[in-house]
Amino acid sequence: QILADYQTIIDEVNAGLGDWFAMQPKAPVEVRRVPEFSQKTAPGAYYQAPSLDGKRPGAFYANLRNVGEIPRFGMRTLAYHEAVPGHHLQSALALEIEDAPEFRKQFYPHAYGEGWGLYAEKLGVEMGVYQTPYDDFGRLSYEMWRACRLVIDTGIHAKGWTRQQAIDYLAENTALSMHNVQTEVDRYIAWPGQALAYKMGELTIWELRRQAERELGDKFDIRKFHDAVLADGGLPLEVLRKRIDKYIAEAKAE
């Protein structure tokens, strides 16, 4: 039922995607369960890009190790982040870039990639796909989780926090299950800075959008802005800034 509900959420978003994105990937995205052999230590969900030959679709993996850990209020936010308009749009389109070296199609700087995932979550508010206040509460609870990440990553790697301090902080300030709290903290310990990259990327994308809206005025087209962000695949943030500056200049000249 959980897998079917995720697929329904994704299908609903796909139906209205053309109003927000001119470019859409050829490859579809499927919902699958995290393999049982890896579910114990795997995150709550993750995305796998389509195969290079196009024979395998993109996949949104949901962890069903304990269905009691999956709050319904967070399902839409998770689907928007991992599938559409999040990682699937981003990664599947990158694989379709023409005349680019193969590494460019799979290049994934985390500030860009995960920043887009967070941007996609909040974009869902504008798209009108959060159907109830309960759904939007799920989005806000995820924002709280991402804010806590900044504190914990910095606490562990710069302030000398212990693992238990980090676990206690995340448990007290988020709606995550205790199992997810522990796996998340272990991830932050083993992967310094990755959690910080999420928010750095999201804030940059919103900043660039506001810049485009301000400079283009009536000429601003949300679909063209999204295409400009996604068309060249994964980019370091400073390169993305130059890409959006170019898009703004070209739009002004039209």
Position 237 scores a pLDDT of 98
Query: In the prediction, which pLDDT does 201 show?
Result: 98
- Note whether 90 and 230 are within 8 A (CB): yes
Q: Does residue 44 contact residue 78 with C-beta atoms inside 8 Å?
A: yes
In tens digits, what is the pLDDT along the chain, a chain of 254 residues?
999 999 999 999 999 999 999 999 999 999 999 999 999 888 889 999 999 888 999 999 999 999 988 889 999 999 999 999 999 999 999 999 999 899 999 999 999 999 999 999 999 999 999 999 999 999 999 999 999 999 999 999 999 999 999 999 999 999 999 988 999 999 999 999 999 999 999 999 999 999 999 999 999 999 999 999 999 999 999 999 999 999 999 999 98
- For residue 70, the model assigns a pLDDT of 87
pLDDT at 42: 86
What pLDDT shows up at residue 69? 82
**Quick check: 52 and 78 in contact, CB under 8 A?**
no
Evaluate if pTM is beyond 0.85: yes
Helix (H, G, I), strand (E, B) or coil at 32: strand
Single out the residue of 30, 6, 137 nearest to residue 78, CA to CA: 6
Alpha-carbon 128 to chain mean position = 18
Distance of alpha carbon 65 from alpha carbon 55, whole angstroms: 28
**CB-hemisphere CA count at 13 Å for 13?**
32
pLDDT score at 53:
87
